[in-house]
Amino acid sequence: MGQTINGRIGGEFEIDPKYLAGKPQPGGHTPTFGCPNEVWLDTGRSALKLALEHISSAGTSGKAWVPAYVCPSVTHAFKSKGFSVRYYAVEPDLGLRSLPASFATSDKRDVFLFIHYFGRPNKDAVRLLSTLSKKPWIIEDAAQAPFLKSAWVSSDFIFNSLRKAFPQPDGALLGSPHPFAHKLAEPLDPFISKRVLGKTLRHSSEDEEKYLRLFEESERELEKENPPRMISPVSKRLMTQENFSTAAETRKFNYRVLAHALTGMTRVSTLWSDVPDDFVPLGLPVVVARDGRDALRSYLRERRIYCPVHWHLDSEVIEETNSAHELSRRILTLPIDQRYGGSDMARVADEIRKFSP
Ligand SMILES: Cc1ncc(COP(=O)(O)O)c(C=O)c1O
């Protein structure tokens, strides 16, 4: 759907206005997890809150286990639903070697959330949880894995968030084997309208200050205390115009090209050396040595290559786990998405090499 605009690589997905009234594309489809109960909401945090509402009414201890390496919006969603959050440690490569202590698994079960980081299926979590005879409530967080096609058989809930991987301003699918109530609030107008305006401006204008302001303002709307909301009509329409399988193939191709081009660099290394077949990447996470992350990020931004940091952790997590803190200070996500091709990846690698061979 998209392509490189004005030499920019990365950053918020643009919306080409012609797609706002476009017809569904051949090969386009609506994703599903194959769960018996599924509903579309606006954001990942809305989906999580709705899952927590069900869990609260069905019986829980009120204690939630969340990985120390986590998007702050996840922790906030738990807290807003009255859960007390405990962090479990993850390895420096985001793997999981063991489960934290033991869980309450009686009528009042704990909640355990695991994340498919950067689109990579979290096989460690699945393997370790499989060994439990009595399970806590299990929530599978696929917000970074929008191409994941099915839920793990023992998950109670799974959700994604499509706005990170496609032009649509919102859209998150929640799936579960349990029938759950889903009375949803209307879409959040100030968020959707500002986001769509910013995305169409980014498509056609170089007024960076203006569209960045719109993105920030719209994000602040999401950070307010919101009830679970339904997906917006504009996202429903945009979603039918995506070809998910082409996007997935392009991402995998770009990831491999860029990861290969980074081999042997001294200060920048990929977080993972292998690329499993079932891994459709959100981006290419790299670790930057010797406190160079922020400098590299600024250097690339000046050359119109935009890289997010997933994530700046909340201070309370930082106090609890050192390895998550260390990773959060050194990680950078390089863009490999479907807007780009091999020559763009070569440009990203060249610029990184110029910064630090
Ligand atoms: C792992 C993870 N879970 C949940 C969320 C929340 O998704 P949303 O921003 O759509 O609410 C995010 C957002 O970045 C995330 O990265």
Does residue 205 fall inside a structural domain? no
Structural domain ending residue among the three candidates 131, 154, 176: 176
* SS3 state of residue 322: helix
277 and 157 belong to one structural domain: no
Does residue 5 fall inside a structural domain? no
Classify the phi-psi angles of 187: left when phi > 0, otherwise alpha if psi is within -120 to 50, otherwise beta. Answer: beta
Structural domain ending residue among the three candidates 146, 176, 206: 176
Q: Does the beta carbon of 165 lie inside 6 Å of ligand 1?
A: no
User: Ligand 1 centre and the CA of 37: distance in Å?
Assistant: 21
Does residue 215 fall inside a structural domain? no
Domain containing residue 91: CATH number: 3.40.640.10
DSSP labels for 1-15? ----BTTBEESSPP-
pLDDT > 70: what percent of the chain? 96
Q: Does the beta carbon of 73 lie inside 6 Å of ligand 1?
A: yes
**Domain ranges, residue 339:** 244-355
43 and 151 belong to one structural domain: yes
43 and 170 belong to one structural domain: yes
Does residue 183 fall inside a structural domain? no
Does residue 300 fall inside a structural domain? yes
Q: Quote the number of domains for the chain.
A: 2
- CA dist 288 and 184 (Å) reads 42
The minimum-distance atom of ligand 1 relative to the CA of 310 is 16
Picking from 186, 171, 275, the residue whose alpha carbon sits closest to that of residue 229 is 186
Q: Are 104 and 127 in contact (CB under 8 A)?
A: no
Q: Does the beta carbon of 333 lie inside 6 Å of ligand 1?
A: no
- 314 contact partners, CB below 8 Å, separation of at least 6: 72, 75
Structural domain ending residue among the three candidates 153, 176, 199: 176
User: Ligand 1 centre and the CA of 146: distance in Å?
Assistant: 11
165 and 254 belong to one structural domain: no
Domain containing residue 347: CATH number: 3.90.1150.10
The minimum-distance atom of ligand 1 relative to the CA of 170 is 10
Does residue 43 fall inside a structural domain? yes
**Residues of the chain with confidence (pLDDT) below 70:** 1-3, 27-29, 318-320, 357
Ligand 1: which of 144, 160, 215 to mutate, most ligand atoms within 8 Å of CB? 144
Picking from 250, 216, 263, 259, the residue whose alpha carbon sits closest to that of residue 341 is 250
pLDDT for 106 equals 79
User: Ligand 1 centre and the CA of 47: distance in Å?
Assistant: 10
